[in-house]
Structure 1
């Protein structure tokens, strides 16, 4: 049994979920542009580092509030 945490979901083709499987964290990013991408992390710290780089403030296309909500969701995992 594993825990699934939704980080964001804009529609059924654009979403990001984290699955907690014991000590392993699996990030599933689904987009209508790229399909599904999976990233596996062995620590929460490693996942947060990836998230900071993936959702860099300079490159983020949404508002600062949207970015902050995404990062808060990652920190709550």
Structure 2
């Protein structure tokens, strides 16, 4: 049994989820451009490091609220 967290979901093609399986964290990123990408992390700090590099402030200029909600969702896991 594992827990699944939804970080964001815009539609059925643009979403990001995190599955917690014991100590392993599996991030699934589904986009209409790139299909499904799966990232496996063995610790929360490793996942947070990836998230901070993946969701950069420069990419969300003018939309800081969305960036904050994504990062807050990662922190809550």
Normalized per residue, the structure richer in helix is 2
Runs of 4+ more than 6 Å apart: none
Structure 1: tracts of 5 or more residues without a match: none
- Residue 58 of structure 1: SS of its match in structure 2? helix
C-alpha deviation, 1:21, in angstroms: 0.2
- Give aligned pairs, total: 77
1:12 match:
12
Tell me, in whole angstroms, the C-alpha distance in 2 between the residues paired with 1:76 and 1:61. Answer: 23
- Taking the TM superposition and a 5 Å limit, the aligned residue runs for 1:1-77 are 1-60=1-60, 63-77=63-77
Query: Against the structure 1 CA distance between its residues 57 and 19, is the aligned structure 2 distance closer, same or farther, given a 3 Å change threshold?
Result: same
Aligned CA RMSD, in angstroms, stands at 1.1
Structure-1 separation of matches of 2:61 and 2:39: 21
Unaligned segments of structure 2, at least 5 residues: none
Aligned mates of 1:42, 1:57 — CA distance in 2: 25
TM-score, with length taken from structure 2:
0.96
